[in-house]
A and B are shown apart, each in its own frame.
Chain A
């Protein structure tokens, strides 16, 4: 079993839809949770960063962490074609042991 599981998709939605991206994990010691967006042939860029459990909102993006279920989510409201990218979840106990999901490829169609 991988430490971090993420459905690779691909996921295709119409413009304006609400997108839900998810990861599950097995290591209960993880306490830092990140979501990165990666455009094709580019490096990942940090979207959201959450410590421990709870929700965090930033514009159209909401990150949720449920430590009891070992489950994290990223919601994108009013999705735009420019949101088309691969979304990577990542988590760590400390900053030098980051574990990444395989990434979910999202396409938002106009």
Chain B
């Protein structure tokens, strides 16, 4: 089955810790994205990647970092510099960033800071 997987489903972090959220896709998509979803707010773009070894900051990149070493994988690290990291994190992918293709979303990771 083709799709996007995210792990873990739930993640708890102590203040001051870095945590990494996994995102894998087997859709052969070039572009991948990370969004954050908070109650009462629309999804906000954290980072996106057009191609392997390339990524760009989105609207709220501060306190986050990413890597894109493989086409299939786009992990997100939430660093201790992110002041309010508790949220629902969604990874998405699309065929190309230049074409108006729809984005397909993973099931999400809910991060809670203790």
Residues of chain A whose beta carbon lies under 8 Å from any beta carbon of chain B? 2, 4, 6, 8, 31-32, 34, 36, 41-46, 49, 51, 88, 90, 92, 94-103
Contact = CB atoms under 8 A, between A and B. Distances in A.
Nearest to A89: B42
A72 B87 CA distance: 28
B102 interface: yes
A96 B31 contact: yes
Nearest to A8: B40
A44 B105 contact: yes
B45 interface: yes
Which of A34, A41, A96 has the most C-beta atoms of chain B within 10 angstroms of its own C-beta?
A: A96
B48 interface: yes
16 contacts: A6-B42, A41-B110, A43-B4, A43-B107, A44-B43, A44-B90, A46-B103, A46-B104, A88-B43, A90-B43, A92-B100, A95-B99, A95-B100, A98-B43, A101-B42, A102-B40
A92 B94 CA distance: 14
Given A95-B94, A95-B98, A95-B101, 14 more contacts: A4-B42, A6-B42, A31-B100, A42-B108, A43-B4, A43-B92, A44-B105, A45-B105, A46-B102, A49-B102, A88-B42, A95-B31, A96-B31, A103-B42
B31 A43 contact: no
A41 B94 CA distance: 22
Contacts of B110: 41
A99 B90 contact: no
B97 A95 contact: yes
A102 B42 contact: yes
B41 interface: yes
A42 B107 contact: yes
A95 B42 contact: no
A29 B85 CA distance: 32
Contacts of A100: 42-44
Contacts of B106: 43
A85 to B, nearest CB: 13
